[in-house]
């Protein structure tokens, strides 16, 4: 599963 | 943080400021789609809920507050203060055709079936099509003021720069988010014909006139 990287983007 | 994302955020901020300033200085929202602005307000509201819960960086928090505040201010100016100048007749895109599929898709395709994640996914899908009412309005009126086209250009470039940011992050940090990337590609592609018109016309000092 693609890791939904920590939402550090706007 | 990388240069592509920083330039993207600056371009995004520039777009929002250009629009807010245009409406405020001209005291008119002629030629601007209020529906797109409502969708952007919904995008930022559903995406930046984590403003309260998780702290990533001062930059991240400040930008989220600025985007939310500017978005709400624009909606206020369009639907309350300068309501009389709002062009109902040309802002007719049925936004339920954008919101409903975005909700459905967010429930079907997401990374994690949690409320915050579903809302984030919804905001990503909605943002990719949120500009359609505005582009539709420009096509209906057949033209756009140059300041509006600068706004659209900055807004289109922002997500295009994010695509470069995702390529960089895949290469440098070895992770990627396919949901954000696919939606970002769709979003940027929607601007392509506008980019063509902007570069061939507006940058040559002509008015943005769509071929009738």
Contact B56 A6 (CB under 8 A): yes
Q: What is the pLDDT of residue A2?
A: 43
Q: What is the pLDDT of residue B86?
A: 97
Q: What is the Cα–Cα distance from B154 to B172, expressed in whole angstroms?
A: 26
Q: What are the boundaries of each domain within chain B? A: 3-204
Provide CB contacts within 8 A for B200, sequence distance 6+. Answer: none
Q: What is the Cα–Cα distance from B23 to B25, expressed in whole angstroms?
A: 6
Mutate to test the interface with B, among A1, A3, A4, A8 (most CBs of B within 10 A): A4
Q: Which of A4, A6, A8 sits opposite B112 (nearest CB)?
A: A4
Size of interface A-B (CB pairs under 8 A): 36
Q: What stretches of chain B adopt beta strand conformation (E)?
A: 143-144, 208-209
Residues of chain B with C-beta less than 8 angstroms from the C-beta of A8: 56-57, 60
Residue-by-residue pLDDT tens, chain B, 212 positions: 999 999 999 999 999 999 999 999 999 999 999 999 999 999 999 999 989 888 999 999 999 999 999 999 999 999 999 999 999 999 999 999 999 999 999 999 999 999 999 999 999 999 999 999 999 999 999 989 999 999 999 999 999 999 999 999 999 999 899 999 999 999 999 999 999 999 998 888 888 888 76
Return the CA Rg of chain A.
7
Provide CB contacts within 8 A for B161, sequence distance 6+. Answer: B4, B5, B7, B8, B11
């Amino acid at each position: 599963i693609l890791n939904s990287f920590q939402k550090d983007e706007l | 943080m990388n240069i592509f994302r920083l330039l993207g955020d600056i371009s995004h901020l520039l777009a929002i400021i250009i629009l807010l300033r245009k409406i405020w200085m001209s005291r008119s929202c002629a030629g601007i789609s209020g529906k797109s602005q409502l969708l952007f307000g919904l995008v930022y509201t559903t995406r930046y809920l984590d403003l309260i819960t998780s702290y990533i960086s001062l930059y991240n928090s400040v930008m989220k507050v600025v985007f939310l505040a500017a978005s709400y201010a624009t909606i206020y100016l369009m639907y309350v203060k300068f309501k009389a100048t709002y062009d109902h007749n040309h802002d007719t895109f049925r936004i339920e055709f954008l919101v409903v599929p975005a909700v459905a898709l967010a429930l079907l395709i997401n990374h994690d079936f949690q409320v915050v994640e579903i809302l984030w996914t919804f905001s990503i899908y909605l943002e990719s099509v949120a500009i359609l009412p505005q582009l539709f309005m420009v096509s209906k009126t057949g033209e756009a003021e140059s300041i509006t086209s600068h706004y659209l250009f900055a807004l289109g470039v922002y997500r295009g720069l994010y695509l470069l940011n995702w390529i960089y992050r895949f290469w440098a940090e070895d992770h990627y988010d396919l949901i954000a990337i696919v939606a970002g590609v769709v979003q940027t592609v929607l601007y392509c014909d506008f980019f063509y018109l902007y570069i061939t016309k507006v940058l040559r000092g002509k008015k943005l006139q769509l071929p009738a």
